[in-house]
Amino acid sequence: MADLHVQFLGHTVPSPFLLASAPPTAFGENIMRAFDAGWGGAVLKTLKPDGMLIEDARPRFAALRDSRNSVYGFENFELLSKRSLSEWAADIAEIKKRYPDNLLIASIMGDSIRSWQEMARRVQDAGCDMIECNFSCPHGMPEIGAGMAVGQVPEIAGEITATVHDICRVPLLVKLTPNVADPRLVCQAVLDAGADGVTAINTVQCLIGVDLDTFRPQPAVDGLSTYGGYSGKAIKPIGLRVVSQAAATMQERGMRPAVSGVGGISTWQDAAEYMLVGSTTVQLCTEVMLKGFGIIDRLASGLSQYLDAKGFASPMDLVGKSLPWLTSHEALAKHAPVTATVDRDRCTACGACATACADSAYGALAMNMDGDAPRLEINRKRCDGCGLCTVVCKTGALTV
């Protein structure tokens, strides 16, 4: 099977699969159990200055479920780690003593120039391999001028990055927010200020739903709610977009992409997609919260088998491979004569595509009810090649 080691900012990591900064990394013993299970690395739950008061609401999690009751969207408004810097320093030292080959990244969030530097000093003195500056938490922290409030303003993000870089002896990452008009501007600012790479993305600010009986937004805390961070499978397309933009930004600067991708990863296929658009490592949170550290076995074996099947020796062979096929909308062909085609062996004549085409496209598809059985017919003169029918079809019978 393919070797899953990757090279990331000067470190050889036993696997590209990392735990993201979140509840699964809230304690050192959790991280060590994850390493025993096979995870390649972990990002500590974000550290705070010792003087910052952190009080979590209860409850603080909610989910969106599909028709099979499986979670596809997840909201939280949990805040930073409540533990002291001294407690974390002791954990960092112990983890690195016992697991020297696993990647350990310290996530930090300050509330002043002095606190940013003090935390960076403490975690690198304790032995962390990298520092990740959290400029992207979308709830609670922006209200005090931290988290997403930093990551939405390139000038502020650059200023704090430079401050941490001044005293940093280990590679420096910045975690980008998706809650901004153009993350490339923030990416450019932090790279200009000395960041060695980025993590993308943090959660998407959201309101997950409303109880139709009580009229209360969810999750409700004594009847009230607030906006939280949205994660899970539903945000993968957003994460892929930001990772690809960050990786392309680095390539334009003559850099090899140094991106840790996170957002909606639940399978090895998701991880491979992130690598193809520029991630070297991938971070998981929600899937771990729902299913535990043991998912690493299927992630690692699936990716390894995929690499073997494709003839690749390492996950590094995937990194950025799909970027050349991303372009501007202006550069896409707009005049090619493309129309839908049906595979009769796969078509069940359910009529869903014809309904979609009639009500939301060009009315090119219709069900011919003459004869012994319904039959899909395509009017190629009316077909615009939009592809809606291929999305609606559940059997893969239609192609464009």
- Which of 310, 313, 322, 311 is CA-nearest to residue 279? 322
Which pLDDT does position 333 carry in this prediction?
A: 86
Sign of CA dihedral 252, 182, 324, 11: positive
Neighbouring C-alpha atoms within 13 Å toward the C-beta of 59: 9
- pLDDT, residue 345, reads 97
Respond yes or no: is residue 347 known to be catalytic: no
Q: Which of 137, 187, 357, 389 is catalytic?
A: 137
Q: Are 376 and 349 in contact, with CB atoms under 8 Å apart? A: yes
The amino acid at residue 195 is: A
pLDDT tens digits, one per residue of 144-192? 889 999 999 999 999 999 999 999 999 999 999 999 999 999 999 999 9
Q: Is 80 exposed, middle or buried (0-12, 13-18, 19+ CB in 10 A)?
A: buried
Residues of the chain whose pLDDT is less than 50?
none
pLDDT digits (tens, 9 = 90+) for 62-94: 999 999 999 999 999 999 999 999 999 999 999
Cα–Cα distance between 44 and 109 in angstroms, integer? Answer: 12
pTM for this prediction: 0.96
Do the beta carbons of residue 178 and residue 204 sit within 8 Å? yes
Residue 120 and residue 164: Cα distance in Å, rounded?
A: 7
In terms of phi and psi (left: phi > 0; alpha: psi -120 to 50; beta: otherwise), the region of 172 is beta
Amino acid identity, position 107: S
CB-neighbour burial class of residue 246 (10 A; exposed 0-12, middle 13-18, buried 19+): buried
Rounded Cα distance, 50 and 298, in Å: 39
Domains recognised in the chain with CATH numbers: 6-325 (3.20.20.70), 333-399 (3.30.70.20)
